[in-house]
Structure 1
């Protein structure tokens, strides 16, 4: 059984197949057709809904793609759709802003935009409230009325919503208007009661989400502790683990396959922990990409910048590093960076744990070193000592800037001492059947002067490291040329103007 609030109504679902997506549930079971299916792959944002969940003594509002979210993700949360915004005959302020700015055209994508704007408005108000706590009373009075976001924040929030009528300007205007002044709405007024209701249902441990009498082989599990997960997965190794589900759900929505046995791991607090020690960053396998971003931005600026382009905000709000690694995709953006940083994985099978360097985890195309019943518990990223001069440069090349998959993703972790390369770790995605280190390229650089001639020899070595393929994203020749040029770019960005002048002849 799954319990959640559909707006303000408690839902208790006992017969849903575990691979039911939130979008399927809304349109087929709840009769809510305002949420649209545009692409069924998390690319267009037409299916965007908002989930509210407790964060301290307030609610955090998160936009997600309903088409890629399995129903188990709703346990203990509030689901808000476009139908819930209008209240007592009055449009919500974000809806009214869309009307006032003529921001709805064919209208198909409009519900998704409205829900993204709703989440943006709530987040802007929350951030302003936090800032106002540090201000004087007079300043707070002003802050409570005027929130405001800038154009960059709006574009970031809407990067996962596509308008096929190409009418982004009025939508951006609507966002700026809706977030400049936000009156208290029905969700604000009900916040205390909603918090209490969610807190009453969230702690429950639900080992069997579904026991459908018509399909006895359909079982869904929602463990709430690591031990429960370890025991369940050991007993049911054929089941699929689902954290964010942003990749796994494509099996249902794109390939039309059934996933009759699922184990949802996103309700286990230990798997969502993010820790920092003197030696390492420790990320739980179910920690979302969005929750990891602030820490990674502080530790590795380029890693944080990459995450800004990692799919869309809706995907980052659900997707996890654990899932990005475990699916073994050669074009997952996390793999190359984590390889370059020397990350390792803590794997668990039953009560047994082992630590494995990420470099040894990938065995072949979508093949990993995971044993039956074994799962990723943590990702460990070594920290760079404060006195170190190591740099991390990360580059993503894709057909469009936002909400796209890489043709090539390159990560360069390099230290240069007195002009000589004393540490080098380079990894690429999109260049082979797995994300992998460029070992021959590294050999050509280590111990050599960090200059154009060394880089050119290393570029030639890339042809030994990789034999990329051609597909609809890029040709093999393009991929190889891009990989070489990214190495040259790394040199340009990390050296003096004189070296930059010399190396431009190769780029």
Structure 2
């Protein structure tokens, strides 16, 4: 295979890269090859945010999208056709600090300074993405943007103060039009085929080409946001010989709606996918906020989370109870199935050789439907669930006409609770019915004990979440969110 150069825009010029491993991270290349060491390595797994950079790329409409991501788990070839911004880009030619940096200095928001470049880049992305004149973001918006940045010594108060005060300083404009011209010149119409020392990286531009490559190379590892696969390299030191990257396939980023439901392509970023879901299901707002961190949601995809099939993947319980169907593709041939049927065993799914996830179809809400999803974890932000629960019922008067119950963290796969559902259907939506369903839950789930929770805690937590769902949706005096949720005002 004739290899092509990786081309990306950084610090005012186009860089062309060959002779680098396909799994070399953006962080490693930036520090070791470009000698720009402002970006730091902390955890090498996308948790601490010391490595935060901003990626610029052309959106489908020709505009420029800027998003903060973790450089430590992004592979270098994924930069092809994009722009990279690090903390070195922010200082003006005359040495003046950017308003983001100046506010951090003025608020004494840096102590050891190790994490500061990551905070700077997360805040810079918020700064350039916020229209001028719209004022200071809310505290919740700031907390969400900084959810992927950890500070171990200064504390967050002065950093949050700086996030507010940076908008009071003289505005510094960002020239998106100039960047768009640079990226247009880098735009590739064909598939990127890159090879080094037996490692192969393909980045097709169309769904048809992705289907052809996948059918020809069924053993290739599909790569989306690197938020899981990246850790295979940085933590498990796996050798990945062939990567098939879907991040350049426009058809996979599709999010559309018709009378039958909401379609979300497998390449749609988590933040974009959740925006579409929350628009129809507002009760997903808290799960969206607590799903990983903002930089992870800027890189990871909902399709990747679904395809991965982790028993603690937070999206699947909610999608399952909403009746989501998964769309699978093999070289131009598509098939669908209920999402719960896609998971056959621990880390095993129903994909045939050469097949991949093209997208999901989520039904739109029905008037009689009552839906909630809940997450139990030790931290509010950026934590793995001990239990993730989702419930959806439809009532006919006070009788439960239909019920769908699903949990993550309770079994080897995300799984529906058939015994719980049977205890609910046909019964009045009353306390006694719910308690009978809670008693039936051990027939569906025998959870394990691990570092996140014991089996007993998971079982009791799952039962209590079902009762909380009842308290919020009962016909007689349902409880408001602030009465059952300690984080309701976060």
Q: State yes or no: 1:69 paired with 2:69.
A: no
Residue correspondences, number = 475
Q: CA deviation at 1:496?
A: 4.4
CA distance in 1, matches of 2:392, 2:168: 42
After TM superposition, the structure 1 = structure 2 runs for residues 319-334 of structure 1, keeping only pairs within 5 Å, are 319-334=300-315
RMSD (Å) for aligned C-alpha atoms: 1.7
Q: Structure 1 residues 296, 498: CA separation in 2 closer, same or farther (over 3 Å shift)?
A: closer
Q: In the alignment, what sits opposite 1:26? A: 30
After TM superposition, the structure 1 = structure 2 runs for residues 348-427 of structure 1, keeping only pairs within 5 Å, are 348-385=329-366, 388-427=367-406
Q: In the alignment, what sits opposite 2:124? A: 118
CA distance in 2, matches of 1:292, 1:417: 32
CA distance in 1, matches of 2:170, 2:426: 59
Gaps of 5+ in 1: 129-142
Contact 1:124–1:148 under 8 Å retained in 2: no
Q: CA deviation at 1:14?
A: 2.2
After TM superposition, the structure 1 = structure 2 runs for residues 297-336 of structure 1, keeping only pairs within 5 Å, are 297-336=278-317
Q: In the alignment, what sits opposite 1:211? A: 195
SS where residue 179 of structure 1 aligns? Answer: coil
Q: In the alignment, what sits opposite 1:134? A: none
Q: State yes or no: 1:195 paired with 2:180.
A: yes
Q: Structure 1 residues 432, 166: CA separation in 2 closer, same or farther (over 3 Å shift)?
A: farther
Q: In the alignment, what sits opposite 1:133? A: none
Q: CA deviation at 1:284?
A: 0.3
How big is each residue's C-alpha offset from its partner over 1:308-339, in whole Å with a ceiling of 9 and x where there is no partner?
11100000011111110111200000111111
1:94 to 81, 100, 115: 100
Contact 2:99–2:172 under 8 Å retained in 1: no
After TM superposition, the structure 1 = structure 2 runs for residues 6-405 of structure 1, keeping only pairs within 5 Å, are 6-55=10-59, 56=61, 58-88=63-93, 89-125=95-131, 128=132, 143=133, 147-185=135-173, 188=174, 190-208=175-193, 210-212=194-196, 215=197, 217-385=198-366, 388-405=367-384
SS where residue 37 of structure 1 aligns? Answer: coil
2:439 to 460, 475, 478: 460
CA distance in 1, matches of 2:140, 2:399: 39
Q: State yes or no: 1:437 paired with 2:416.
A: yes
CA distance in 1, matches of 2:75, 2:305: 17
CA distance in 2, matches of 1:420, 1:29: 66
Q: CA deviation at 1:351?
A: 2.4
Gaps of 5+ in 2: 484-490
Q: CA deviation at 1:435?
A: 0.3
How big is each residue's C-alpha offset from its partner over 1:100-150, in whole Å with a ceiling of 9 and x where there is no partner?
11000111111100001101111223xx5xxxxxxxxxxxxxx3xx63212
Q: In the alignment, what sits opposite 1:139? A: none
Contact 1:452–1:499 under 8 Å retained in 2: no
Q: In the alignment, what sits opposite 1:137? A: none
Q: CA deviation at 1:16?
A: 2.0
Contact 1:148–1:181 under 8 Å retained in 2: no
Q: State yes or no: 1:481 paired with 2:455.
A: no
How big is each residue's C-alpha offset from its partner over 1:47-96, in whole Å with a ceiling of 9 and x where there is no partner?
10001223446432210011121223212211000111112111111111
CA distance in 1, matches of 2:156, 2:401: 48
Contact 1:393–1:412 under 8 Å retained in 2: yes
CA distance in 2, matches of 1:396, 1:11: 43
Q: CA deviation at 1:40?
A: 1.2
Q: CA deviation at 1:205?
A: 1.8
